Structure 1
């Protein structure tokens, strides 16, 4: 009787190529991007950054292909490389926007083009895939936030123009939220704090009204005149355009406008910078005037040594 001899030798594993490795990495990144995604109006949206590699646009296109394979539903993703490209002749990183429909992608193109104005060097538009070379993308927190804004807005369903969009707030809600952060003061309280030599921190009275309103309504001599459009830049201790006095975070900044509405929003904005003692005057300059308080206050003690002190040129009318 003959016996069949079976060769049980282990066959060597097939050697993986560079293309196989790139494909696996692209697949893993696609899964990570999908995992991080949000749902907006029934569509899955996401933003994902990865470090620059060789042939970035082709690699991101491969990631987009894996996303398409795994998502049968509506989707829109922005994929980008960041960091210095290995090829020193390349001056920009790659950005790929891919989606389940031309409509999503074309909306995203319009938004992205405006947000990265002057930084886009070249584009390829393939309908559901848009590939762009963008200088220094990912170099600041702005870029990721901008791309999230792009993908979220681009998939939103058309809304009734007479109905508030989801997530929006009325000005009354915005004002209420702002005031919830503040310990607002009456004109009398503000006057007393400004003239209290034992007050534990420097106190400044800031007039944020526009020049025309100050000229028409009058003002308080000794207050700092810093109009609303530059307020944050003047008081942020981290900003190069700050005032000389704005070198600490415990300042008591008392903001006033004409009637105490805009000033609440302005004071809340200062809180966002870390100036948690900022507040405003209830009723604004109109309330100060109605209370019969003096039209002049003692200038800040640091005013003589600082360019930040701007005496009011407007006399009380």
Structure 2
């Protein structure tokens, strides 16, 4: 990783984990003295075991210690300060090695810690702006105008079920109004409600992949991301409304306005 040799290994618990791992770390550092390296070793078992991070860079080891503490939040307690060179860190860790998550989490810690630091104000390689993410999502959709959406909802010749789904938060619906007959499902649970595989969380109607789910939000941005996400779980007929509720209302289509409160 960026010129640093990295490794993660899990081993069975020993009589004295901390001392054992410190010996392991010192031995690894002697073996790899002339090579950039960052290595994590954890003993596994029920209850308290130990975790070692050793490397050639103090900065990388410190980053790994912080990330490991965050990954295993509440499960790690440092046993000692860094060694004099700052390149060995040992902690007590609880119940590690019993799920696939543990090893994957350690690999993620070591990978991120071994990466060369970049200018924090520059976008990391491979990242995309929200504008790019939105544009990519919309390439997968045949978006509808409010009038087209309204007509689909009232077309008796469409064989598949057609649903208009309002994903706006309650505050927006209360402030701006709603659409009679729309299905209100807030964004944070949308995929769980429509995934036919999600037996416990799905809607009763969400047992088929040909549903025509038309998503509407306030202005037509979040809805595009949501519709693309539904396509990702297999609902290939999902799409959204251009301009959202604002455009729907401007087109003179039926809305339910919020009740006015008079002081």
- Name the TM-score, length of structure 1 as normaliser: 0.65
Aligned counterpart for 1:185 among listed residues 120, 138, 144:
144
Count of aligned pairs: 251
Q: Equivalents in 1 of 2:257, 2:30: separation in Å? A: 65
Instruction: Give ranges in structure 1 of 5+ residues lacking alignment.
Output: 1-38, 296-311
Q: Could you tell me whether the CA contact under 8 Å between 2:180 and 2:254 is conserved in 1?
A: no
Are residue 111 (structure 1) and residue 67 (structure 2) matched? yes
RMSD (Å), alpha carbons: 3.4
Are residue 224 (structure 1) and residue 183 (structure 2) matched? yes
Match of 1:17? none
Matches within 5 A, 1:3-152: 39-40=1-2, 42-46=3-7, 48=8, 50=10, 53-55=12-14, 57=17, 58=20, 62=24, 65-66=27-28, 69-70=31-32, 72-80=34-42, 85=45, 90-91=46-47, 94-120=50-76, 123=79, 126=82, 127-131=86-90, 132-137=92-97, 139-141=99-101, 143-152=102-111
Aligned counterpart for 1:253 among listed residues 179, 197, 213:
213
Are residue 154 (structure 1) and residue 113 (structure 2) matched? yes
Q: Could you tell me whether the CA contact under 8 Å between 1:49 and 1:138 is conserved in 2?
A: no
Q: Equivalents in 1 of 2:33, 2:152: separation in Å? A: 61
Q: What is the DSSP-based 3-state SS (H/G/I as helix, E as strand, rest coil) of the residue aligned with 2:142?
A: coil
Match of 1:288? 248
Match of 1:215? 174
Q: Could you tell me whether the CA contact under 8 Å between 2:38 and 2:110 is conserved in 1?
A: yes
Larger Rg: 1
Q: Equivalents in 2 of 1:136, 1:221: separation in Å? A: 52
Q: Could you tell me whether the CA contact under 8 Å between 2:25 and 2:88 is conserved in 1?
A: no
Q: Equivalents in 2 of 1:251, 1:67: separation in Å? A: 59
Q: Could you tell me whether the CA contact under 8 Å between 1:80 and 1:95 is conserved in 2?
A: yes
The 1:266–1:92 alpha-carbon spacing in structure 2 relative to 1, beyond 3 Å, is: farther
Larger RCO, structures 1/2 (Cα 8 Å, 6+ apart): 2
Q: Could you tell me whether the CA contact under 8 Å between 1:68 and 1:100 is conserved in 2?
A: no
The 1:294–1:153 alpha-carbon spacing in structure 2 relative to 1, beyond 3 Å, is: same
Q: Could you tell me whether the CA contact under 8 Å between 2:25 and 2:54 is conserved in 1?
A: no
Q: Equivalents in 2 of 1:111, 1:75: separation in Å? A: 17
Q: CA deviation at 1:113?
A: 0.8
Match of 1:201? 160
Q: Equivalents in 2 of 1:267, 1:68: separation in Å? A: 55
Instruction: Give ranges in structure 2 of 5+ residues lacking alignment.
Output: none
Measured against aligned partners, the alpha-carbon deviations of 1:150-205 in whole angstroms (never above 9, x if no partner) come to 22332344433432233322111111122223332222332233233443433321
Q: CA deviation at 1:215?
A: 2.1
